Amino acid sequence: MPRTPRLINGKPGIAFELQVTYRCNAVCKFCNRLVGVLPAGDRDMTPEDAREAVRKLRTAPFSIYRCKVTGGEPALNEHLSEILHIFAPIVHGPGRVLTNATRPKHRASVELPPGWRWRRSGLDDMSDMRSGKSYHEPFLISPRDLRIEGEPPCDVLGRCGRVYEKEGFTFCGVAGSLGRLLDIPVHSSEPVLDPDPRVCQHCIHSIHRPIRDGIFEMQRQGHLPAVTPTFAAALNRCNVPQQAQRELLEIDGPETCAPSTCR
């Protein structure tokens, strides 16, 4: 369940995430930003984007009590220092910048605002950019394909919060990737609080942890595919090469169903 928001300046405090780039120097299996699956494109946040977002966030019906900065690898955004300093005044608690910890020189060139810290989320093998992270779980399993009803609000919303990225505001950190894959517009020019059921119905995070763990165990044992029909159709529609699908999404269980079998 989401954590109880505290009041800051009379407004509820929420967690917030800045997604500053979709570029990454690593290629992890099950990366939920779809690095190596969909092209990153020109999606690095600029200082101008950041200033416009802060202008809107100052009048939003909530305050930001903590901020997480993600990518891709955030250190690859050449404007990261400036962007963080633009956002820092409206963040009333800790600021953390996630990094895969492989680029110390990039990090050293970034000046963090006072009180902000790097948070390492390192690869299993720091010398192998394809080694991934052992705690990653397949996320292209659609609850709807399994005929399971999700139970919003999901735990991601409370933990990671609402998001701003190059394309605009959205409701969670995976919405940008899932929306792009499923061809559902998820961005707004104004801050977004409410999740979009069109996306959430296909998101594995909409299922509570014990059931989710059971699904992952079934997938590990080969009783479920790592990519269910909705996402198999989406990957094909996005022209993702079969090789990338197999390598990065580890389709090693049962064959994914043909798109025509989607519900």
Q: Report yes or no: 54 and 87 within 8 Å, Cβ to Cβ.
A: yes
According to the binding rule CB under 6 A, does residue 100 interact with ligand SF4? yes
Kindly state the DSSP code that residue 195 receives in the 8-state scheme: -
Q: Indicate which single residue of 199, 226, 227, 233 sits in contact with ligand SF4 (rule: CB under 6 A).
A: 199
Contact call for residue 234 and ligand SF4 (CB under 6 A)? no
Stretch of 61-69, 76-84, 172-180, 219-227 lying at the interface with ligand SF4 (CB under 6 A): 172-180
Candidate residues 18, 24, 45, 97; the one interacting with ligand SF4 per rule CB under 6 A? 24
Map residue 69 onto helix, strand or coil.
Answer: strand
**What are the helix (H) ranges across the chain?**
47-58, 80-87, 104-108, 155-160, 175-182, 197-200, 209-220, 229-237, 242-249
Please report, to the nearest 10 degrees, the dihedral formed by the alpha carbons of residues 18, 119, 181, 55 taken in order.
0
Q: How far is the CB of 193 from ligand SF4 (least distance, A)?
A: 11
Over the window 139 to 168, marking each residue x when it contacts ligand SF4 by CB under 6 A and - when it does not, the resulting string is ---------------x-xx-----------
Is residue 200 a contact residue for ligand SF4 (CB under 6 A)?
yes
14 binds ligand SF4 (CB under 6 A): no
Contacts with ligand SF4: how many residues (CB under 6 A)?
25
- State yes or no: residue 101 binds ligand SF4 (CB under 6 A): no
**Measured between alpha carbons, how far is 146 from 202 in angstroms, rounded to an integer?**
10
Strands 95-99 and 11-19: unpaired
Pick between residue 134 and residue 260 the one whose CB is nearest to ligand SF4: 134
Region of 7-15, 31-39, 40-48, 209-217 interacting with ligand SF4 (CB under 6 A): 31-39
Q: How far is the CB of 123 from ligand SF4 (least distance, A)?
A: 7
User: How far apart, in whole angstroms, are the C-alpha atoms of residue 232 and residue 254?
Assistant: 13
Query: In the complex with ligand SF4, which residue's Cβ is closer, 58 or 117?
Result: 117
Q: Which residues contact 177 (CB under 8 A, 6 or more apart)?
A: 32, 33, 34, 38
